[in-house]
Structure 1
Amino acid sequence: MIYIPNDSANPYYNLAFEEYVLNNMDPGEDYVLLWQNAPAVIVGKFQNTIEEINTKFIKERGIKVVRRMSGGGAVYHDPGNLNFTFIVKRNPNKLLDFKEFTASIIETLKALGINAEFNSRNDLTIDGKKFSGNAQYVTKNRLLHHGTLLFNSNLDDLEKALNVSNDKIESKGIKSIRSRVTNISDYLKRDIDIQEFKTLLLKNIFAGGEIKTYYLNPEDKAGINELVKTKYGTWEWNYGESPEYNLKRSKRFNSGKVELMLYVKDGIIRECRIYGDFFGMGDISDIEHLLTGRKFKEEDIRSALAVLETVDIRHYFGGIALSELMELFC
């Protein structure tokens, strides 16, 4: 086993870091990574991103949203959460075993006086509350196992970031299963910080022996940054890879109710219909055509509707202003 340190807190970089190690490091070696992110929501490979996030809260807080390689549900990261990744040789004749990768975590916590358990949903729990979610990704010859460890995360922000709105969304995306969560720090018998916990865990992984370490070189970092540029930092990967879905949103303004219905595929608005009891005079299909074919992201929608700034929007929506209309898309 070889440990690869990584001090980056950039969620795009850190997800790219995992993939780079998986595909580019010596396949004859096993690796362990311990890393932390700035506030971010990490969605599973097969999830519909907007179905998993509180868009308004995430925008207000500047929280990044990144899709990972593995399946499973959406999770919240912040500096109070420690992420772990094992990248090992794969035995195709052996069933995937989540427990073997979490044994060192359970042992570390036991040494700290905490009784943690592995449950049937591949989570680690304390007193029935989840503090670690786990997922795996396999290639022909390699297996990547990664997970979260809520040490002293902001659980209020976690709940809000993953608190999906009441929009009616119908999709084939994998839905997250919400669980009661807790922080490891709440159960500690002595006061330690996340860095000391990280050190204790690393020692346990290497059974108290030498921690063989590999440091990323400039070529490695360039390769990781290229993955950020072409994949993990792109809207196409983080949102456009979502399964197709139908979205229904409505909002009542002073001048009436506006109901928006969208069919989105590959992150692109393929069909748009607008209904409501507002007193508009213009043909609402003009607006529907402006939006069709656009990426379902605020910047593109705002750009499409910018033409309305040159006309009297009340012609279409009565007394509803453009800034109010944008609330339906944000």
Structure 2
Amino acid sequence: MIFIENDGHTNPKLNLALEEYVLRHFSADQDYLLFYVNEPSIIIGRNQNTLEEINYSYVEENDIHIVRRISGGGAVYHDYGNLNFSFITNHDAKSLSNFKKFTAPVIKVLNSLGLNAELKGRNDIEVDDRKISGTAQFSTGKRMVSHGTLLLDTDLNEVAKALNVKMSKIQSKGHKSVRSRVANISEFLKTPLTIEAFRQLVLEGLYDESEPFQTYQLTLEEWSAVHQLKAEKYDTWDWNYGRSPKFNIRRSKRFQIGEIDLRIFVEKGYITDFRIYGDFFGKEPVAHLEQLLTGVRYDYVDITAALKPVDLKDYFGEVNKAEFIDLVYGEDA
């Protein structure tokens, strides 16, 4: 087993790029272990609809990163109180979906700290029926990554706020997260630990479980390739939002001029069909507005730009444009 230093980077997009780079480009003759701590972020499962998982306005206001990972499973919140671990090994049919194999050494370390930790359900580590870790896997067919979280001292209030989804009436083919009763490992420790001290204890415990570890530092060329992967993939709207499965949204609100009822169809992050219904009165046919928004990226900034030259009075009467945009893309309806 080779332990890879991430040089203290806390940008989740860079850390996920590092993980994928190691998975796809490092020697298949070795197993690798990677630890990282992320800045406040929501990490979206590969097959999820991003907008179904996040409190969009809260995330935007608080500069919380939104990043899609390559593995499946549900959305999770990361911050400086959460330690992430990743085992990168050869693909093995018996190991795929065998979360017990990869969580067993972690659980042993937690037990040595006095926690009554155990694997529950398919892929969660729990203490006294409260979740302190979730895990996920991804395989290329030749290599696989098994990674997870360890909630040492995460701000659970932020978890609730950031994942408190308000976008209404979304129907999608994405895999919706199931929220569990979560807890911090710190609640069960007799002596408080910093994230750095906890990281070192887990690392030492894993050392004891395996053959002697080596520690590896990436070269400048390898870091350059990781940064390139981050820029080309993990920094992009297409990966983090546009990769969401096909979904439909129904949004309605009663204004002074009457009710406006929207049906929005989105595929690969772009509006493929936009329909407006309601009991309002306007001089221009709403078909013009529907056509204008069809083909636009389903993103607040792009929708706002598309509507900038439009006088909504022509279609609805006295409607505030900001309120209409909030109806199209906002969270309260």
Q: How far apart, in 1, do the equivalents of 2:259 and 2:96 lie?
A: 54
1:104-253 correspondence to structure 2 within 5 Å? 104-165=105-166, 167-207=168-208, 210-253=212-255
- CA shift at 1:323, angstroms? 1.4
Q: Does the aligned pair in 2 maintain the 1:86–1:146 contact within 8 Å?
A: yes
Q: How far apart, in 1, do the equivalents of 2:75 and 2:59 lie?
A: 14
Which secondary structure does the structure 1 equivalent of 2:215 belong to? Answer: coil
Q: How far apart, in 2, do the equivalents of 1:260 and 1:70 lie?
A: 33
- CA shift at 1:95, angstroms? 5.5
Q: How far apart, in 2, do the equivalents of 1:81 and 1:280 lie?
A: 53
Q: Does the aligned pair in 1 maintain the 2:252–2:260 contact within 8 Å?
A: yes
Q: Which moved more, 1:192-201 or 1:51-60?
A: 51-60
Q: How far apart, in 2, do the equivalents of 1:325 and 1:94 lie?
A: 50
Which secondary structure does the structure 1 equivalent of 2:42 belong to? Answer: strand
Q: Name 1:2's counterpart in structure 2.
A: 2
Which secondary structure does the structure 2 equivalent of 1:88 belong to? Answer: strand
1:283-302 correspondence to structure 2 within 5 Å? 283-302=285-304
Gaps of 5+ in 2: none
Q: How far apart, in 2, do the equivalents of 1:51 and 1:20 lie?
A: 28
Q: Name 1:260's counterpart in structure 2.
A: 262
Q: Does the aligned pair in 2 maintain the 1:203–1:211 contact within 8 Å?
A: no
Q: How far apart, in 2, do the equivalents of 1:296 and 1:326 lie?
A: 11
TM-score, L = length of structure 1: 0.94
Which secondary structure does the structure 1 equivalent of 2:74 belong to? Answer: coil
After the TM superposition, list the runs of 4 or more consecutive aligned residues in structure 1 that deviate by more than 6 angstroms. Answer: none
- CA shift at 1:141, angstroms? 2.1
- CA shift at 1:140, angstroms? 2.4
Q: Name 1:43's counterpart in structure 2.
A: 44
Q: Name 2:70's counterpart in structure 1.
A: 69
- CA shift at 1:220, angstroms? 1.1
- CA shift at 1:166, angstroms? 5.2
- CA shift at 1:211, angstroms? 4.1
- CA shift at 1:210, angstroms? 5.0
Q: Which moved more, 1:118-127 or 1:246-255?
A: 246-255
- CA shift at 1:240, angstroms? 1.2
Q: How far apart, in 2, do the equivalents of 1:132 and 1:92 lie?
A: 23
Which secondary structure does the structure 2 equivalent of 1:82 belong to? Answer: strand
- CA shift at 1:317, angstroms? 2.5
Gaps of 5+ in 1: none
Q: How far apart, in 2, do the equivalents of 1:100 and 1:76 lie?
A: 24
Which secondary structure does the structure 2 equivalent of 1:319 belong to? Answer: coil
Letter in 1 for 2:238: E
TM-score, L = length of structure 2: 0.93
- CA shift at 1:121, angstroms? 2.5
Letter in 1 for 2:298: F
Letter in 2 for 1:46: N
Which secondary structure does the structure 2 equivalent of 1:203 belong to? Answer: helix
Identity of aligned residues (%): 46
Q: How far apart, in 2, do the equivalents of 1:197 and 1:137 lie?
A: 26
Superposition RMSD in Å? 1.6
Q: 1:64 to 1:94 in 2, by over 3 A?
A: closer
1:9-88 correspondence to structure 2 within 5 Å? 9-88=10-89
Q: Does the aligned pair in 1 maintain the 2:284–2:315 contact within 8 Å?
A: yes
- CA shift at 1:235, angstroms? 0.9
Q: How far apart, in 1, do the equivalents of 2:10 and 2:258 lie?
A: 45
Q: Name 2:322's counterpart in structure 1.
A: 323
Which secondary structure does the structure 1 equivalent of 2:208 belong to? Answer: coil
Letter in 1 for 2:133: S
Q: Does the aligned pair in 1 maintain the 2:51–2:167 contact within 8 Å?
A: no
Q: How far apart, in 1, do the equivalents of 2:95 and 2:106 lie?
A: 22
Q: Name 2:100's counterpart in structure 1.
A: 99
- CA shift at 1:275, angstroms? 2.1
Q: Name 2:271's counterpart in structure 1.
A: 269
